[in-house]
């Protein structure tokens, strides 16, 4: 068996040559344009915040290009600033990113027959933006050929990552020029809230958010950022319990 065959999934329906199509790449890149208006400034905020926290430009850009997950980067960095141990910062960042396991499972359903050769780089480009836009596209066009489908995904994912990296770089270079009285640091919690707000829909999500937020205030004194992880666990439990309690009452 050739080495090429080893890189394919053993799906019997696997087409011979699945390659991201140029048409798909273009469509994906265009679809991502409105999102870039938010990704660029968010990158800027990260670059400025990381620089202010004491990271040198190489460290900031390495983090932004290797982790490529804004919320997790900011969360981990905030913990380092608060003098938490590095492993606690890693754990917290990973918990913030756990949602991507859900994205991964959801995209995989639409990717049957895509060879491993493309799945390995695809994982790097999986973020809130590429996931949301691609899934919407797959639902709207269930008959689109596989090569256009993965093209669309790589189109949204790559333009988003490039914008994110450029935004971070601008933040490293120009963040220092922002006068401190502008309170740019407040852009960090504001960005988190703006990211989470559209996801808070329905009673269960509200319960999860409120319980987690209040618990974080109550548990703030705990060492090593443990308060955050405990509060998040309580919030998740509240979100899962809410519909069950409502059903019992009904």
Q: Where are the alpha helices (DSSP H) in the chain?
A: 3-6, 22-53, 57-66, 70-81, 86-97, 99-108, 116-124, 128-140, 146-174, 187-196, 202-218, 226-249
Rank residues 145 and 205 by Cβ distance to other proteins and give the closer one.
205
Based on the shown chain and the rule CB under 8 A, indicate whether residue 107 belongs to the binding site for other proteins.
yes
Smallest distance, Å, CB 177 to other proteins? 17
Smallest distance, Å, CB 197 to other proteins? 3
Which range in 20-28, 62-70, 159-167, 171-179 contacts other proteins by CB under 8 A?
Answer: 62-70
Position among 205, 222, 224, 226 found at the interface with other proteins (CB under 8 A): 205
Based on the shown chain and the rule CB under 8 A, indicate whether residue 210 belongs to the binding site for other proteins.
yes
Based on the shown chain and the rule CB under 8 A, indicate whether residue 235 belongs to the binding site for other proteins.
yes
Position among 7, 33, 66, 246 found at the interface with other proteins (CB under 8 A): 66
Compute the distance between CA of residue 94 and CA of residue 86 in angstroms, rounded to an integer: 12
DSSP 178: S
Degrees to nearest 5, angle at CA 70 with 68 and 74: 120
Determine contact, residues 46/73, Cβ cutoff 8 Å.
Answer: yes
Estimate to the nearest angstrom the gap between the alpha carbon of 72 and the chain centroid.
8
Which range in 14-22, 24-32, 110-118, 171-179 contacts other proteins by CB under 8 A?
Answer: 110-118
Q: Is 83 left (phi over 0), alpha (psi -120 to 50) or beta?
A: left
Site map (CB under 8 A) of other proteins, residues 77-96, x = contact = xx-xx-x-xxx-xx--xxxx
Helix (H, G, I), strand (E, B) or coil at 26: helix
Which residues from 29-48 bind other proteins, rule CB under 8 A?
35, 37-38, 41-42
Rank residues 29 and 215 by Cβ distance to other proteins and give the closer one.
215
Smallest distance, Å, CB 118 to other proteins? 9
Based on the shown chain and the rule CB under 8 A, indicate whether residue 179 belongs to the binding site for other proteins.
no
Rank residues 145 and 192 by Cβ distance to other proteins and give the closer one.
192
Helix (H, G, I), strand (E, B) or coil at 219: coil
Based on the shown chain and the rule CB under 8 A, indicate whether residue 150 belongs to the binding site for other proteins.
no
Smallest distance, Å, CB 82 to other proteins? 9
Position among 214, 222, 224, 226 found at the interface with other proteins (CB under 8 A): 214
DSSP 125: T
Which tokens sit at 74? 């900011």
Which residues from 10-29 bind other proteins, rule CB under 8 A?
11
Determine contact, residues 209/198, Cβ cutoff 8 Å.
Answer: no
Smallest distance, Å, CB 85 to other proteins? 8
The upper half-sphere exposure of residue 107, i.e. CA atoms within 13 Å in the direction of its Cβ, equals: 26
């Amino acid at each position: 068996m050739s080495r090429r065959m080893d890189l394919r999934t053993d799906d019997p329906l696997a087409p011979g040559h699945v390659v991201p199509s140029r048409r798909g790449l273009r469509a994906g890149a265009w679809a991502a344009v409105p999102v870039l208006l938010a990704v660029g400034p968010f990158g800027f905020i990260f670059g400025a915040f990381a620089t202010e926290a004491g990271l040198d430009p190489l460290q900031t850009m390495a983090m932004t290009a290797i982790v490529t997950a804004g919320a997790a980067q900011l969360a981990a960095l905030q913990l380092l600033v608060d003098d938490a141990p590095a492993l606690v910062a890693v754990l917290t960042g990973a918990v913030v990113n756990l949602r991507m396991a859900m994205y991964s499972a959801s995209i995989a359903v639409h990717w049957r027959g895509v060879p491993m050769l493309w799945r390995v780089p695809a994982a790097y480009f999986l973020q809130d933006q590429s996931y949301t836009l691609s899934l919407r596209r797959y639902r709207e066009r269930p008959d689109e050929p596989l090569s256009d489908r993965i093209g669309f995904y790589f189109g949204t994912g790559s333009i988003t990552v490039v914008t994110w990296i450029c935004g971070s770089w601008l933040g490293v270079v120009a963040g220092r020029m922002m006068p401190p009285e502008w309170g740019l640091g407040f852009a960090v919690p504001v960005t988190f809230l703006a990211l989470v707000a559209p996801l808070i829909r329905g009673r269960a999500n509200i319960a999860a958010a409120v319980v987690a937020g209040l618990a974080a205030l109550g548990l703030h004194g705990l060492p090593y950022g443990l308060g955050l992880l405990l509060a998040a666990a309580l919030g998740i439990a509240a979100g899962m319990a809410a519909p069950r309690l409502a059903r019992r009452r009904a």
